[in-house]
Chain A
Amino acid sequence: QKEVEQDPGPLSVPEGAIVSLNCTYSNSAFQYFMWYRQYSRKGPELLMYTYSSGNKEDGRFTAQVDKSSKYISLFIRDSQPSDSATYLCAMSKAAGNKLTFGGGTRVLVKP
């Protein structure tokens, strides 16, 4: 069983809808949680970073961490076609940069 599970999608939504993405993990030692966005034929880029439990908001993006359920989420409000990409969750147990990535969810936002 993988340490971090993520539905591969694709998740197809109409423009303007809320995109809801999530990852589950098995190791309770994870404390740092990240979401990366990866466009086709590009490297991933960091979208959101959260430490421990709680919510974090940045513009149209909201990240939630529920450590008791070992579940993290990313919400994209007012989705745009430019949000079409693969979204990868990543997490780390300590302050070093050893990240464990999920497999990624492909998102398609249709105009």
Chain B
Amino acid sequence: EAQVTQNPRYLITVTGKKLTVTCSQNMNHEYMSWYRQDPGLGLRQIYYSMNVEVTDKGDVPEGYKVSRKEKRNFPLILESPSPNQTSLYFCASSLFGRTNEKLFFGSGTQLSVL
């Protein structure tokens, strides 16, 4: 089954404790992206990657890091989480990153930073 898999689904942590949210897709997509979703603000892009070793900032990249060492994986790293990073996070992928392609989303990671 074609899917984007994120882990964990839920995560509670404390300020300053480094964490990684994993994302993996099995569709051989070149394009992958991370979004955060906050009430009333919709989905905002954090980082995206057009291919292996190619990453770029989205609209809200501060406080986040990403890496794309393999095509299928695109982890999101919070080196020193803060309470304002409490949010619902989604990983997404599409074939080449073109607007007319279907963007596949994972099921989300609910992060709470205390």
Q: Which residues of A contact B (CB under 8 A)?
A: 4, 6, 8, 32, 41-46, 49, 51, 88, 90, 92, 94-99, 101-104
Q: Is the CB of B105 within 8 A of A43?
A: yes
For chains A and B in complex, what number of residue pairs have CB atoms within 8 angstroms?
60
Q: Which residues of B contact A (CB under 8 A)?
A: 4, 31, 33, 39-45, 48, 58, 90, 92, 94, 97-103, 105-108
Chain A residue nearest to B92 in the complex (CB): A43
Q: Residues of B contacting A32 with CB < 8 Å? A: 99-100
In angstroms, Cα B99 to Cα A99, docked, is: 8
Q: Is the CB of A44 within 8 A of B98?
A: no
Q: Residues of B contacting A97 with CB < 8 Å? A: 31, 33, 48, 94, 97-99, 101, 103
Q: Is the CB of A101 within 8 A of B99?
A: no
